[in-house]
Structure 1
């Protein structure tokens, strides 16, 4: 055992009540590194009281408050040892969070969701933290309205296969898609796995997997404009400067291999060198050990967008979407708002030109992938351009050939 836990009386510093703090002393040794940390118990005792209650309690028959303090210290010491034993690898940070939580938190769904949310926020994964919040709110809505159970008290042991099936049915009845149900239940599964990994719950109650609850899987239809539609959108007349800006940023993404809006917002002038620019994709940067830079070669069109919307001093961030001085949460909100701004105006242009009414900024990425393949690019080439880790992810981007192409192919089958 690399750690040792004991009750410790801090007699070096007397408090205003003329007593000394009683603490938990934790000694941990990992390899050649030895560390000692102290954690408060919120109990203060004089030297005489500590000696009578803890050092030599057998010499006296403890009664009243002294007996209560002894039992409390024994309970604290036992809990500290139990929490340390439950950790596969001991570390002070995890030990502290386990020690000072409520005993009911081990099996509490909201508590474990909040652990993930807090960590994602600390790691500047604001969007991911938001997705966990959405899932928690959805589970809370179902638990409150259908199970008459507050999310604050919902435990993992209550979430059975039948519970999840009823949740799925409830979501569909509220006009939510199976895609949404899949996203939320996969997020819940991650939280379940975290709780099991931390030894806070037993694996026996895990409701997912073979012969248990099956998370619904749907083939997500990626939306893309055809080459004809792209030409219509590119040549469309705009009604105002806002529509012009929305269209310019949409086609900048398209012309830059479907570049994500966050990556555009964080693009720096120092990234632009010799008729090209390079960047790391923010969405996948922390998900892989190998960091791969994406290279985008500039064209007359993309150069014109950089000149039109780029900062005039040509230093720092290229576009005025976010600022380096802002924290991650502020940047996240600004990028989200700018994305909404582009979508609002792209939809107006699309409607005015008889294009799909649900056309959005993200269609630029799908359109790049689909039209690259239609023009003869290999799936491997497009996968690399999109910075996908798996070729199957790229295949999902392929929207399929237009009906005209399919009809032409069918008619050619007997043309020997």
Structure 2
């Protein structure tokens, strides 16, 4: 692209009968200029309104289109070595005006996720898409072009989300989804890498303020000793303990466990979360079957025992990904409902949901002196930094217990 410049100009050399002039793309190379019409004609006054500080409605649409044309031209020029006007004209005339924007790219990606059976991830992207649309609607805009997403736009979106009482965690989730869409746009040639708005000295996605909670070993002991009032409490408590004892396995992975996952007194499985995102070097998680785990399987496992049967019967072999997601959500909701009741009776500091079973597993291990490498392997993390970040929050009582040791003269 060195030695080649582009700009969209109002060609005032020939005035039309309606007092307008053609808007053209001007390409300059070695002091030679060539002009390419882009099917827009404006008066001088209209041209000035397009380039006003804050163009509105049609004028803003024109400006966005002009930016899109110039971006397309620069993308084509980058691929021509050495540059010639003939080669440029051929590609420029062949390439139709792009109709792909952020929202349509989101929808295409969501459809791909659904085809791959990644229903839960698709739902997360749908939430992000709906949020972005609402933000644009608040600005009286129906479309969001790739080049609209600037560091300033992202800052405004973050402020809008905060004003809407959304947490930093939610903001981070939605913006990471948007970041993926923009990365795909660059890979597909819809966005210039120079226009990428994320990164140092640009915009950085806010870190989560979601403080992870974990039960102490004494509180877990209370759960173990608790006498359930009915079978629903008993099942919820046992499945929570299964998650805690089985390396903090989440409900979706519990649902997918089959009797064939068991061999040599161990449970072997891969996290569904990483099966598709980490195709290379998948980390198999191995859980030693303690007597407590064995008792839970014996008590609640589906009978008769068949290798290809799901152990706990949350889902069926014939379920579609959508049906599986609904059943896993239903199971999670049921466990959390009765665990909340148990937690209230035991006067625990917070509702012991299935989410906290995983963090309790990791935190109890760390407090017991287990090597972080072992915790990393048990959780199925690929990177040690992920484990370190996962364990970087401790409750105030734990911090205070160590600070008091400063006075143990």
Same fold, TM exceeding 0.5? yes
1:359 partnered with 2:352: yes
Shift in Å, 1:339: 0.9
Aligned counterparts of 1:133 and 1:197: Cα–Cα separation in 2: 22
Aligned to 2:176: 186
Q: How does 1:171-320 map to 2 (within 5 A)?
A: 171-218=161-208, 220-288=210-278, 289-315=280-306, 316-320=309-313
Shift in Å, 1:357: 3.2
Shift in Å, 1:233: 2.2
Shift in Å, 1:240: 2.4
The alignment partner of 2:302 has SS state of coil
Shift in Å, 1:405: 5.1
The alignment partner of 1:181 has SS state of helix
Aligned counterparts of 2:385 and 2:366: Cα–Cα separation in 1: 14
Matched positions, count: 318
Aligned to 2:39: none
Q: Deviations over 1:6-60 (max 9, x none)?
A: xxxxxxxxxxxxxxxxxxxxxxxxxxxxxxxxxxxxxxxxxxxxxxxxxxxxxxx
Q: How does 1:16-415 map to 2 (within 5 A)?
A: 103-106=97-100, 108-144=101-137, 146-150=138-142, 153-218=143-208, 220-288=210-278, 289-315=280-306, 316-398=309-391, 406-413=399-406, 415=408
The alignment partner of 1:296 has SS state of strand
Contact 2:211–2:393 (8 Å) recurs in 1? no
* Structure 2: gaps of 5 or more residues: 1-72, 80-94
> Which shifted more, 231-240 or 248-257?
231-240
Aligned counterparts of 2:200 and 2:271: Cα–Cα separation in 1: 35
Q: Deviations over 1:322-358 (max 9, x none)?
A: 0111111111121112111111111111112211333
Aligned counterparts of 1:331 and 1:133: Cα–Cα separation in 2: 18
Contact 2:243–2:250 (8 Å) recurs in 1? yes
Contact 2:344–2:351 (8 Å) recurs in 1? no
The alignment partner of 2:269 has SS state of strand
Aligned to 2:18: none
Aligned counterparts of 1:241 and 1:399: Cα–Cα separation in 2: 37
Length-normalised TM-score, structure 1: 0.71
Length-normalised TM-score, structure 2: 0.72
Q: Deviations over 1:180-204 (max 9, x none)?
A: 1111111111101111110123234
> Which shifted more, 262-271 or 355-364?
355-364
Aligned counterparts of 1:276 and 1:323: Cα–Cα separation in 2: 23
Aligned counterparts of 1:252 and 1:223: Cα–Cα separation in 2: 18
Contact 1:226–1:371 (8 Å) recurs in 2? yes
